Amino acid sequence: MIKVGIMGVGTVGTSVAQILKDNAEIISARAGVDISVKSGVVKNLNKDRGLDISLSDNVDDILNDEEIDIVVELMGGVDEPFEVVKRALKNGKAVVTANKALLAYHRYELQEIAGTIAFEYEASVAGGIPIINALRDGLSANHIESIMGIMNGTCNYMMTKMTEEGVAYDAILKEAQELGYAEADPTFDVGGYDAAHKLLILASIAYGLDAKPEDILIEGIENVSQDDITFAKEFGYAIKLLGIAKKDANEVELRVHACLISKDEMIAKIDGVMNGISVVGDKVGETLYYGPGAGGDATASAVVANIIDIARSGKSTPMLGFDKPMEGKLTLKATDDINSKYYLRINVSDRAGVLAKITKVFEDNNISVETMLQRPSSTNSANLLISTHIALEKDIQNMIKEIEELEFVNSTPVMIRIV
């Protein structure tokens, strides 16, 4: 019998206990051993979770329990779970976590501390989609050329509703929170940080790259408006928050931001709270993974899969997919050197000569316009909706600063990269 202790019995923790109970027979057959939850640790002991496991509010009750083989960490946050999982590993217990923020900051230290003890984290990226397994095992023969995906269900749900139903940003964020998709602090979702945490985990497995959130380009969906959605529809695009990792010679670019993506791309068709990730390997070509990226049962499905795997073998594969460092290590590409096509929305006073002055700034920064639309926004002002040919990130950033300074420009221009 394998015994599990759950740190944090919220929506996902409750589902983990319930799945291990509901599907006990098939899980036992697959694992070759019975698995049960012995106890859980919660902050509030007075809340009824409808489970028949013993609950405590003291992490020591799991960490010091010699009968517990596997600690499931679902506490959220970074510092507290880091201390807890380190202690679990030091006490010889295997760890399963869904905590992407913890891994975004501490995955290499945890790999070191875990050594040969199993440390698994399938649920940390794209909830129920077995993307870690696919990347670490199924595609291990390949150099990974790119990873591009919808890794945050909340943003995808919001973008879909704003596009299909014209729902306002604030109303739809509230709905995503009520449906239980959003993080405790939804800034993590709409600001792109949650997707960035997931991208960094995938980048370690794909490229052996040790980067932190502060090292990469992270933007959210906060500035996307109905004007941008109108432009997207008119020019055959969808707007999605994407996590992108792309190998270019010995460098890898990592970025999370809202994107205009052609409606014909598979990723563009992934709507609602669903996640979808495209991975291109040099030998296999393009592979696509689709499924629920949030929600109790979907996330718990991945947690329980890790528990079964550990119960089967008790062995650990290299946690981040590399048994030794690669020669000719890949390095992170500087954000300034990223190349893309760009879309800009510039609100200007609508009078003679404005357009000429704007296009002069484009020219000065070596940026070539591909398409342009002008829409009146209110009396005497208009939105210029402009897309560019491929340009350098540092040139675009410089150009935006210069445009913002012009006396006839009414607000900071909004920029969305085109994929």
Instruction: Choose the binding region for ligand HSE from 50-58, 68-76, 150-158, 240-248 (rule: CB under 6 A).
Output: 150-158
Among 69, 120, 194, 309, binds ligand HSE (CB under 6 A): 194
Q: What's the min distance (Å) between Cβ of 213 and ligand HSE?
A: 15
Contact between 298 and 172 under an 8 Å Cβ cutoff? The reply is no
175: tokens are 């709905």
Those residues with Cβ within 8 angstroms of residue 264's Cβ, 6 or more apart along the chain or in another chain? 236
Our CB check for ligand HSE shows the closer of 185 and 234 to be: 185
Instruction: Choose the binding region for ligand HSE from 12-20, 73-81, 152-160, 351-359 (rule: CB under 6 A).
Output: 152-160
Instruction: Pinpoint the alpha helices (H) of 115-220.
Output: 131-133, 153-165, 169-178, 187-190, 193-207
Those residues with Cβ within 8 angstroms of residue 345's Cβ, 6 or more apart along the chain or in another chain? 225, 227, 228, 231, 383, 384, 385, 386, 413, 414, 415
Q: How far is CA 171 from CA 230, 239, 299, 321, in A?
A: 19, 18, 25, 41
153 binds ligand HSE (CB under 6 A): yes
Q: How far apart are CA 278 and CA 321, in angstroms?
A: 19
Among 294, 307, 308, 396, binds ligand HSE (CB under 6 A): 294
Three-state SS annotation for 56-78: ECCCHHHHCCCCCCEEEECCCCC
Burial class (CB in 10 A: 0-12, 13-18, 19+), 366: exposed
Our CB check for ligand HSE shows the closer of 181 and 231 to be: 181
Catalytic residue from among 93, 100, 161, 198: 198
160 binds ligand HSE (CB under 6 A): no
Among 111, 154, 278, 301, binds ligand HSE (CB under 6 A): 154
Those residues with Cβ within 8 angstroms of residue 82's Cβ, 6 or more apart along the chain or in another chain? 102, 105, 106, 110
Contact between 78 and 107 under an 8 Å Cβ cutoff? The reply is no
Our CB check for ligand HSE shows the closer of 28 and 133 to be: 133
Instruction: Choose the binding region for ligand HSE from 38-46, 73-81, 182-190, 338-346 (rule: CB under 6 A).
Output: 182-190
183 binds ligand HSE (CB under 6 A): yes
Q: What's the min distance (Å) between Cβ of 131 and ligand HSE?
A: 12
Burial class (CB in 10 A: 0-12, 13-18, 19+), 138: middle
What is the pairing mode between strands 70-73 and 94-97? parallel
Contact between 387 and 377 under an 8 Å Cβ cutoff? The reply is no
Instruction: Choose the binding region for ligand HSE from 181-189, 221-229, 243-251, 404-412 (rule: CB under 6 A).
Output: 181-189
Those residues with Cβ within 8 angstroms of residue 139's Cβ, 6 or more apart along the chain or in another chain? 279, 281, 284, 287
350 binds ligand HSE (CB under 6 A): no
Place of tokens 């696919």: 134
198 as an active site residue: the answer is yes
For 399, the 3-state DSSP assignment is helix
Q: Compose the 84-123 pattern: x for residues touching ligand HSE by CB under 6 A, - for all others.
A: ----------------------------------------
Contact between 59 and 41 under an 8 Å Cβ cutoff? The reply is yes
Among 69, 73, 120, 189, binds ligand HSE (CB under 6 A): 189
152 binds ligand HSE (CB under 6 A): yes
CA angle 107, 146, 149 (to 5 degrees): 75
Q: What's the min distance (Å) between Cβ of 21 and ligand HSE?
A: 23
191 binds ligand HSE (CB under 6 A): no
The alpha carbon of 361 is separated from its chain's Cα centroid by a whole number of angstroms, namely 35
Count residues contacting ligand HSE (CB under 6 A)?
11
Q: What's the min distance (Å) between Cβ of 104 and ligand HSE?
A: 12
181 binds ligand HSE (CB under 6 A): yes
Instruction: Choose the binding region for ligand HSE from 49-57, 89-97, 148-156, 158-166 (rule: CB under 6 A).
Output: 148-156
Among 37, 182, 206, 416, binds ligand HSE (CB under 6 A): 182
Span 5-34, contacts to ligand HSE by CB under 6 A:
none
Instruction: Choose the binding region for ligand HSE from 101-109, 151-159, 200-208, 405-413 (rule: CB under 6 A).
Output: 151-159
Q: Contact positions toward ligand HSE, by CB under 6 A?
A: 127, 152-154, 181-183, 189, 194, 293-294
Provide the annotated active-site residues. Answer: 198
